[in-house]
């Protein structure tokens, strides 16, 4: 018969050990939680050409200087520190360029130090503007963001004679038929922003006088066939067409216009072309699905630094590589128009923290 081993006698811990444990647990309960940042507004620029302040400006510099974003914090996954003004709750982010910008924004949204549950997002940057819609230096509030990357494509020289270009939607057999996105294909191809918030932002800014320059004025004079250009810089509602390919020319602008209309049932247009907004929109909608952000609080403001097609008599090849003539007016417009909306959100934060504004 097996003999059970005797068990060691269990002794109570000494009094000083119990006291230490009790005091340690009490200290943990009393210790303040790790700092949590609760941005009121997050401004997303895509690039900065040098330092954040004091030199040649990129998209971020006017925001860093004029909104006094004096504090900074590093975020894993972001190439550039997040800057912020602790007094106002305005944060500034440099996301990087092209569709890859969405990866950095997604990393920011997952950082546990941030609470974006009430934050507004202002995607703010330069773009190529369709001269059929507006002049360089103009600022457009987007109703839609279009993805111009995912497509079937053949060289236009090999396309059938009745095709206007060699690009068509996945699953289609003709460029101009309504897209039927296959089950395996990425979705969506168009994002619709909160229409009430967009209308409110436009109403707040539509009468602002925008910056101009002699260089931009001289460049506009070449566009004699475009009445919208003759008006000079304006604030308008116009959609964001995003593609990692830097395209240019009348044929490509025609493709972008028709692509935008096809994916929005005729409601969209391709006023401003850029390389980032589809990536940023994808990141923000996924973060919304995770309960990290509110996509109904996202605004997109693009400003024209260059035209997306050449003036009459100039080739698309030469026009595409020409130096931007509307760069400084576009950067000024981005901050002037964008900061007007940011200031309005902050002024009535007790209201807008709970509910997005809407046009009256």
- Going from N- to C-terminal start, the domains of the chain cover 36-150+186-352
pLDDT number for residue 7: 35
The pLDDT tens digits of the residues spanning 25-74 come to 343 343 344 569 999 999 999 999 999 999 999 999 999 999 999 999 99
pLDDT number for residue 34: 57
pLDDT number for residue 10: 37
Instruction: Please give the backbone phi and psi of residue 59, each rounded to the nearest 5 degrees, phi first.
Output: -65, -25
pLDDT number for residue 336: 98
Cβ atoms of residues 127 and 274 within 8 Å: yes
pLDDT number for residue 35: 67
Closest CA to 305 of 160, 129, 170, 155: 129
Report the pLDDT averaged over residues 310-339. Answer: 96
According to DSSP, residue 114 is labeled B
Instruction: Please give the Cα distance from 233 to 139 (Å, whole number).
Output: 8
pTM above 0.85, yes or no: yes
CATH superfamily, domain at 36-150+186-352: Nucleoside phosphorylase domain (3.40.50.1580)
pLDDT number for residue 24: 34
The pLDDT tens digits of the residues spanning 100-148 come to 999 999 999 999 999 999 999 999 999 999 999 999 999 999 999 999 9
Residue 275, number of CB atoms within 10 A of its CB: 22
Residue 2, number of CB atoms within 10 A of its CB: 4
pLDDT of 193 > 50? The answer is yes
Q: For a pLDDT cut of 90, what percent of the chain falls above it? A: 87
């Amino acid at each position: 018969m097996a003999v059970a081993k005797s068990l060691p006698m269990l002794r109570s811990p000494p009094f000083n050990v119990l006291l230490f444990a009790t005091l340690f647990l009490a200290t943990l309960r009393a210790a303040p939680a790790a700092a949590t940042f609760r941005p009121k507004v997050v401004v997303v620029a895509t690039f900065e050409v040098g330092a954040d302040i004091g030199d040649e400006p990129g998209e971020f510099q006017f925001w860093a200087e004029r909104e006094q974003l004096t504090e900074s914090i590093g975020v894993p996954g972001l190439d550039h520190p997040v800057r912020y003004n602790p007094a106002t709750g305005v944060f500034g982010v440099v996301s990087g360029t092209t569709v890859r910008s969405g990866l950095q924004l997604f990393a920011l949204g997952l950082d546990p130090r941030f609470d974006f549950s009430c934050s507004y997002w202002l995607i703010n940057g330069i773009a190529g503007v369709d001269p059929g819609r507006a002049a360089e230096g103009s600022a457009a509030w987007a109703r839609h963001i279009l993805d111009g990357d995912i497509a079937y494509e053949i060289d236009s020289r090999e396309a059938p004679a009745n095709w206007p270009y060699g690009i068509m939607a996945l699953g289609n057999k003709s460029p101009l038929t309504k897209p039927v996105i296959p089950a395996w294909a990425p979705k969506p191809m168009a994002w619709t922003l909160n229409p009430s918030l967009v209308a409110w932002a436009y109403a707040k800014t539509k009468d602002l006088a925008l910056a101009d320059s002699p260089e931009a004025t001289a460049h506009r004079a070449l566009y004699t066939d475009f009445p919208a250009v003759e008006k000079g810089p304006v604030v308008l509602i116009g959609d964001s067409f995003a593609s990692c390919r830097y395209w240019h020319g009348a044929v490509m602008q025609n493709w972008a216009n028709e692509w935008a209309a096809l994916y929005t049932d005729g409601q969209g247009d391709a006023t401003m072309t850029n390389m980032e907004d589809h990536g940023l929109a994808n990141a923000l909608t996924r973060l919304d699905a995770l309960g990290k952000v509110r996509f109904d609080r996202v605004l997109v403001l693009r400003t024209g630094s260059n035209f997306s097609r050449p003036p009459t008599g100039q080739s698309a090849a030469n026009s595409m590589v020409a130096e931007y003539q509307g760069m400084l007016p576009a950067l000024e417009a981005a901050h002037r128009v964008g900061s007007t909306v940011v200031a309005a959100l902050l002024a009535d934060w007790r209201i807008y923290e709970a509910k997005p504004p809407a046009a009256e």
